[in-house]
């Protein structure tokens, strides 16, 4: 940048000023007026003006987009989440704070671009569209739920009334149809990535279901093997060891059946038939012919009959 070397040499830099995130860039808008108004700086100032105007437009578009998401979030919370407990409400508040933080960053980005435009071109054509953005202006669309004004007296913020960018300004900033199409391709790629990610999550969930049932079946077979490991000793002790091992095997089998009876109807509703479904189709038919709640209660009683299952040292017992 012309004439910046003298400013850098005169500035007294602190040890932390050399960090990349805090080092001053000395763009034309941050230079003193006696340097910025020099003839050789005119073209450079014009370049930054062409940078700052679309930056302000993009930042304002981000503010509007985040506000739409927040308004939809509050509407969803009011209809579907309110009154359902602390956990869902806390989750919604965490999501709101995250979106609100993004909105504040976009608003700050707009204010930086607006301040630069005021310095570089205070009476330019951009003044008919862009205004100073206050915290009160970051609102809408529509009346906020906590607003004091009524629907009849509500006045929308100017960010929703700003006219669209004209073709002449598009030509000045180099934003044409090709760049718009490119942005649409980027949005399509992001949407496809999200769709692919959710498809992968569905496959992972089905695999987790299969592994839970397979583990319980393997654990039941393992317990039955433990029943015959010890073949010497007192007959009463051997009988107790075998009884305990068979009891644990039955509990594992009951857990597998309970999971299968709970998951299979939900998977069938979505048109998904897992590979382990054939082993539990008969039990599912029997459960559907009887009261499903009664079947689940019986399974719960069998599982809860050994409340200290996780705390027992199985090696010592055997």
51-66 pLDDT per residue, tens: 888 888 888 888 888 8
Which sequence spans correspond to the domains of the chain?
23-144, 198-317
Residue 139, both tokens: 């609102």
Q: How confident is the model at residue 179 (pLDDT cuts 50, 70, 90)?
A: low
Tell which phi-psi region holds residue 233, choosing left (phi > 0), alpha (psi between -120 and 50) or beta.
left
Q: How far apart, in whole angstroms, are the C-alpha atoms of residue 126 and residue 220?
A: 74
Largest CA distance in the chain: 107
Mean pLDDT over residues 93-106, rounded? 88
**What confidence score (pLDDT) does residue 213 get?**
92
Taking alpha carbons only, the member of 51, 57, 24 closest to residue 121 is 51
User: For the whole prediction, is pTM greater than 0.85?
Assistant: no
Report the pLDDT value the prediction gives residue 313, as an integer from 0 to 100.
42
Determine how many CB atoms are found less than 10 A away from the CB of residue 56.
22
Position 208 scores a pLDDT of: 93
């Amino acid at each position: 940048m012309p004439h910046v070397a003298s400013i850098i040499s005169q500035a007294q830099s602190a040890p932390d000023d050399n960090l990349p995130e805090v080092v001053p860039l000395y763009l034309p808008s941050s230079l003193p007026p006696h340097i910025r108004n020099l003839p050789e700086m005119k073209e450079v100032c014009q370049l930054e003006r062409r940078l700052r105007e679309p930056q302000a437009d993009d930042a304002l578009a981000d503010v509007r987009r985040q506000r739409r998401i927040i308004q939809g979030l509050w509407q969803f919370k009011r209809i579907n989440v309110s009154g359902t407990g602390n956990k869902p409400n806390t989750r919604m508040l965490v999501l709101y704070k995250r979106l609100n933080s993004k909105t504040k960053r976009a608003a700050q980005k707009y204010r930086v671009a607006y301040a630069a435009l005021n310095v570089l071109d205070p009476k330019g054509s951009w003044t008919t569209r862009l205004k100073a953005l206050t915290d009160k202006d970051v609102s809408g669309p529509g009346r906020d739920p906590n607003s004091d004004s009524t629907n009849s007296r509500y006045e929308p913020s100017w960010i929703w009334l700003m006219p669209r960018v004209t073709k002449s300004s598009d030509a000045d900033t180099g934003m044409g149809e090709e760049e718009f199409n490119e942005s649409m391709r980027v949005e399509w790629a992001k949407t496809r990535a999200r769709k692919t990610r959710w498809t992968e999550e569905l496959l992972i969930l089905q695999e987790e279901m299969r592994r839970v049932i397979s583990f319980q079946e393997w654990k039941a077979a393992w317990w039955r093997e433990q029943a015959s490991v010890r073949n010497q000793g007192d007959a009463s002790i051997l009988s107790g060891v075998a009884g305990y091992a068979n009891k644990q095997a039955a509990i594992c089998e009951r857990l597998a059946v309970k999971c299968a009876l709970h998951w299979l109807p939900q998977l069938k509703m979505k048109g998904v038939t897992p590979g382990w479904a054939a082993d539990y189709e008969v039990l599912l038919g029997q459960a559907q012919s009887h009261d499903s709640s009664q079947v689940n209660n019986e399974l719960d009683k069998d599982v809860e009959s050994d409340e200290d299952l996780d705390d027992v040292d199985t090696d010592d017992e055997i």
